[in-house]
């Protein structure tokens, strides 16, 4: 009799524990921190075999003039094989590999929080929106490397185009050296700040939309200058089957 009673008590305790655990999981699912959502979204995208993405990029230069925006699209297959096509120079979208962006934000960021509601971005029951900052020194180092790399490529291609001998070659080299000195002067005072808005599907825990706003502050000929870059990217066709879009 005592043995049967013990069995019933044990069974009841296990059932209560299961209910408590299930309830706890459900509550936890609704109370994940912003950091946890970022980590889950990165892990989900890293585990996705293939997906598509489309984006647009616009630049506001120092004079306050908005350059003509351009679009690009790409796809990832077998996790890491990425192809990307743009309607303009590829260099403008050089760093838009969604998984790499998610990786560096997940590994290091000074701030990640739930995005406050604002025009065009509202929290709903199906998605969660995060506002993530990139470490400013990382943003600056990344852009320094990119801009210097473009100048070095220009040296390789432009020199041969100008000719290998004579006055034309000398003039081209002088112009390139002047541009390099000017670039280094700008980079010495460069401050860069990048913020990312991530819209994550609560069901699949995959990022559906990524927005980046990067602001550059520097001195040009002793004059304070500010420029900015805005990129908006939507992801879909996860593993070739799941499709969902957000506005």
pLDDT digit string (tens) for the chain, length 247 residues: 544 444 343 334 333 333 333 333 333 345 899 999 999 999 999 999 899 999 999 999 877 778 888 888 889 988 777 888 877 654 455 568 899 999 999 999 999 999 986 545 555 689 999 999 999 999 999 999 988 988 888 887 765 655 556 777 788 888 889 989 989 989 999 999 999 999 999 999 999 999 999 999 999 888 899 999 999 999 998 876 644 445 4
**What 3-state class would DSSP assign to 112?**
strand
Please list, in sequence order, all residues whose beta carbon lies within 8 angstroms of the beta carbon of residue 246, skipping any fewer than 6 positions away. 127, 199, 208, 209, 234
Q: Which fold has domain 31-138+190-236?
A: outer membrane lipoprotein receptor (LolB), chain A (2.50.20)
Domain boundary assignment for the chain: 31-138+190-236
- The whole-model pTM stands at 0.77
Number of other residues whose CB lies within 10 A of the CB of residue 55: 23
> What is the DSSP secondary structure assignment for residue 64, as one 8-state letter?
S
């Amino acid at each position: 009799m005592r043995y049967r009673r013990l069995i019933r008590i044990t069974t009841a305790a296990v059932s209560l524990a299961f209910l408590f655990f299930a309830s706890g999981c459900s509550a936890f699912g609704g109370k994940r921190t912003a950091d946890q959502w970022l980590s889950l979204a990165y892990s989900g995208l890293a585990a996705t075999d293939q997906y598509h993405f489309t984006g647009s990029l616009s630049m506001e230069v120092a004079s306050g003039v908005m350059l003509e925006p351009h679009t690009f699209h790409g796809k990832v297959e077998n996790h890491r094989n990425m192809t990307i096509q743009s309607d303009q120079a590829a260099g403008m979208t050089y760093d838009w590999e969604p998984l790499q962006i998610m990786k560096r934000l997940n590994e290091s960021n000074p701030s990640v929080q739930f995005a406050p509601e604002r025009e065009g971005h509202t929290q709903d029951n199906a998605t969660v929106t995060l506002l993530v900052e990139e470490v400013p020194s990382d943003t600056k180092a990344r852009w320094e490397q990119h801009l210097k790399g473009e100048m070095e490529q220009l040296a390789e291609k432009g020199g041969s185009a100008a000719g290998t001998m004579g006055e034309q070659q000398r003039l081209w080299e002088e112009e390139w050296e002047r541009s390099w000195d000017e670039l280094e002067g700008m980079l010495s005072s460069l401050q860069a700040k990048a913020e990312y808005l991530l819209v994550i599907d609560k069901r699949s825990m995959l990022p559906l939309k990524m927005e980046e706003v990067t602001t550059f502050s520097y001195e040009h000929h002793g004059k304070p200058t500010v420029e900015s870059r805005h990129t908006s990217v939507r992801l879909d066709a996860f593993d070739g089957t799941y499709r969902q879009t957000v506005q």
